C-alpha cells in the first residue's frame, strides 16, 4: 500500500483513532507505507497531516501500529519535510524553506483560509542543513518508539529532499547544488542518518524523477535516476520505491529501466498499475513489487479482490482530504455484499 496523505489527524497533528481503524482495515497489504509525516515541527504542507516529533504523536501512531500488527500486518512510516510546499498560514506565519528561493506556481495549497497561492521560500543556508538531517534522524528514532516496522524516506513529489535532487528547483552553486552528486547530498545524508537508527534493511527511499507535481522538473531525469541507482547500491535498503511517471504528463520517459539495470536491491514500482500489469512486471523481473495507492483508498481488502478477480469499489476524490469517516473508513469489504 503506497503512502496516501488523507488529513485525518486531530489537534497538533496527532494521529487519530480513526486513522488506526483505517490502517487496520488495510492490514492485508503485504506492506503498508503510512502517509507523509512531518519529521520536524513547523513544516506543515497539508493542514491536518500527521507528525512524529512529539510524545503525543508517538502515542497516536502507537495505536495505529498496534492495530495493524493485531491484524497481522506490517507498516513503515514515511518521514518527510514539506520544503517549499509548506505555507505560512499552516505554520504560524513562518516562511517555508527550500534549496533555492523559487516558488511553486502550478497549484495552490489548502489552508484554514481556503485555497492560497504558494509563497516564495527562503533559501536554506549551509549552516541549517545539519539540523534537517538531525530532524530526520530524530523522526526515525520516534518511529521506532511508535512501533513501526521500518521507515521510508520521502524524496519525491516536490518536497524538500526532491527539491534538492532536481535542478529545476535547486539553483545552488555550493556543495548542495549544480552536479547530481551535490544535489543528492542532502538526501543521502538524511538516508544515512535514518539507516544509523534502523539498520539499512528496515529503510526505504521514495523518488519521483519524472513527476512535475509541485512545479517540479529536471533537465535530465534519466541521468539523475541512473546516478541514484548506482549510488544507492552502497546501502542495503529494504527497497527503492519509484514513481514511474508524471501526474501532469509534462515529462515522459522510462526511468524504471535504467534504475533496474543499475540498482541491485529490491525495486518497487508505483503509479497507474492495475493488477495485470503489476503481475506482468514482477513476472518479467522488471520489478520486485508494485505499490497501489488509489486502489487501497476505496478497497480495504484490495489483495483479496485482486486474488479472485472481484470488482473494485470506486473512490470518491471529493472526500480524499476532507476529514471524517466518509471516504476513509466506510468503504465496504467483499464480505459486506
Q: How many CB atoms neighbour CB 307 within 10 A? A: 11
- Does the annotation mark 159 as catalytic? yes
Inform me whether the pLDDT recorded for 2 exceeds 80. yes
Instruction: Report the alpha-carbon distance of residue 325 to residue 337 in Å, rounded.
Output: 20
Instruction: Report the alpha-carbon distance of residue 80 to residue 152 in Å, rounded.
Output: 9
Average pLDDT, stretch 27-38?
A: 98
For residue 3, being part of any structural domain is answered with no
Inform me whether the pLDDT recorded for 248 exceeds 90. no
Instruction: Report the alpha-carbon distance of residue 105 to residue 252 in Å, rounded.
Output: 20
SS3 111: strand
Domain that holds residue 121: 11-336
Instruction: Report the alpha-carbon distance of residue 302 to residue 335 in Å, rounded.
Output: 12
Average pLDDT, stretch 148-163?
A: 98
Which residue matches cell numbers 539553483?
171
How does pLDDT run across 74-132, given as a tens digit for each residue? 999 999 999 999 999 999 999 999 999 999 998 999 998 999 999 999 999 999 999 99
Contact 263, 229 (CB under 8 A): yes
For residue 65, being part of any structural domain is answered with yes
Size (the chain), residues: 337
For residue 5, being part of any structural domain is answered with no
At 33, which CATH number? 3.20.20.70
Contact 95, 119 (CB under 8 A): yes
SS3 25: helix
Report the number of distinct structural domains present in the chain.
1
Helix axes 17-25, 55-70, angle to 10 degrees: 30
Catalytic option among 23, 53, 118, 159: 159
SS3 110: strand
Q: What is the pLDDT of residue 322?
A: 86
Q: Give me 93's grid cell.
A: 506565519
Our CA dihedral for 172, 90, 55, 25, rounded to 10 degrees, sits at -100
For residue 208, being part of any structural domain is answered with yes
**Helix spans in the chain (H):** 17-25, 55-70, 129-145, 160-165, 180-183, 185-198, 221-231, 256-262, 275-283, 294-298, 302-308
- What radius of gyration, in Å, describes the C-alpha atoms of the chain? 19
Instruction: Report the alpha-carbon distance of residue 249 to residue 247 in Å, rounded.
Output: 6
Q: Give me 248's grid cell.
A: 501532469
Q: What is the pLDDT of residue 251?
A: 87
Our CA dihedral for 103, 105, 107, 111, rounded to 10 degrees, sits at 40
Q: What is the pLDDT of residue 151?
A: 98
SS3 1: coil
Q: What is the pLDDT of residue 337?
A: 65
Q: Give me 19's grid cell.
A: 486513522
Average pLDDT, stretch 45-68?
A: 97
Contact 216, 168 (CB under 8 A): yes
Burial of 304 (0-12, 13-18, 19+ CB in 10 A): middle
For residue 205, being part of any structural domain is answered with yes
For residue 111, being part of any structural domain is answered with yes
Contact 137, 40 (CB under 8 A): no
For residue 4, being part of any structural domain is answered with no
| pTM listed for this prediction | 0.98
Amino acid at each position: 500500500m503506497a503512502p496516501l496523505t488523507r488529513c485525518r489527524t486531530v489537534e497538533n497533528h496527532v494521529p487519530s483513532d480513526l486513522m488506526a481503524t483505517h490502517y487496520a482495515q488495510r492490514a492485508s497489504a503485504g506492506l503498508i507505507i503510512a502517509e507523509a509525516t512531518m519529521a520536524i515541527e513547523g513544516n506543515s504542507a497539508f493542514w491536518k497531516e500527521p507528525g512524529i516529533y512529539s510524545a503525543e504523536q508517538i502515542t497516536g501512531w502507537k495505536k495505529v501500529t498496534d492495530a495493524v500488527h493485531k491484524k497481522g500486518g506490517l507498516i513503515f512510516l514515511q518521514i518527510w519535510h514539506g520544503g517549499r510546499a509548506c505555507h505560512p498560514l499552516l505554520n504560524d506565519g513562518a516562511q517555508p524553506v527550500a534549496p533555492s528561493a523559487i516558488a511553486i506556481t502550478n497549484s495552490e495549497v489548502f489552508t484554514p483560509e481556503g485555497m492560497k497561492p504558494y509563497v516564495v521560500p527562503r533559501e536554506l543556508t549551509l549552516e541549517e542543513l545539519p539540523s534537517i538531517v538531525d530532524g530526520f534522524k530524530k523522526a526515525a528514532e520516534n518511529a521506532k518508539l511508535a512501533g513501526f516496522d521500518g521507515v521510508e524516506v520521502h524524496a519525491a513529489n516536490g518536497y524538500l529532499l526532491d527539491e534538492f535532487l532536481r535542478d529545476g528547483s535547486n539553483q545552488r552553486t555550493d556543495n548542495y547544488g549544480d552536479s547530481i552528486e551535490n544535489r543528492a547530498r542532502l538526501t543521502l545524508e538524511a538516508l544515512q542518518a535514518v539507516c544509523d537508527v534502523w539498520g539499512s534493511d528496515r529503510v526505504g527511499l521514495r523518488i519521483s524523477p519524472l513527476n512535475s507535481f509541485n512545479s517540479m522538473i529536471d533537465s535530465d531525469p534519466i541521468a539523475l535516476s541512473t546516478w541514484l541507482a548506482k549510488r544507492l547500491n552502497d546501502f542495503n535498503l529494504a527497497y527503492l520505491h519509484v514513481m514511474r511517471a508524471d501526474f501532469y504528463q509534462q515529462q515522459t520517459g522510462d526511468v524504471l529501466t535504467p534504475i533496474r539495470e543499475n540498482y541491485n536491491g529490491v525495486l518497487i514500482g508505483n503509479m497507474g498499475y492495475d493488477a495485470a500489469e503489476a503481475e506482468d512486471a514482477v513476472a518479467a523481473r522488471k520489478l520486485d513489487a508494485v505499490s497501489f495507492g488509489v486502489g487501497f483508498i476505496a478497497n480495504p481488502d484490495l489483495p483479496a479482490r485482486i486474488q479472485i478477480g472481484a470488482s473494485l469499489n470506486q473512490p470518491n476524490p471529493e472526500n480524499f482530504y476532507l476529514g471524517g469517516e466518509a471516504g476513509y473508513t466506510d468503504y465496504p469489504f467483499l464480505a459486506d455484499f
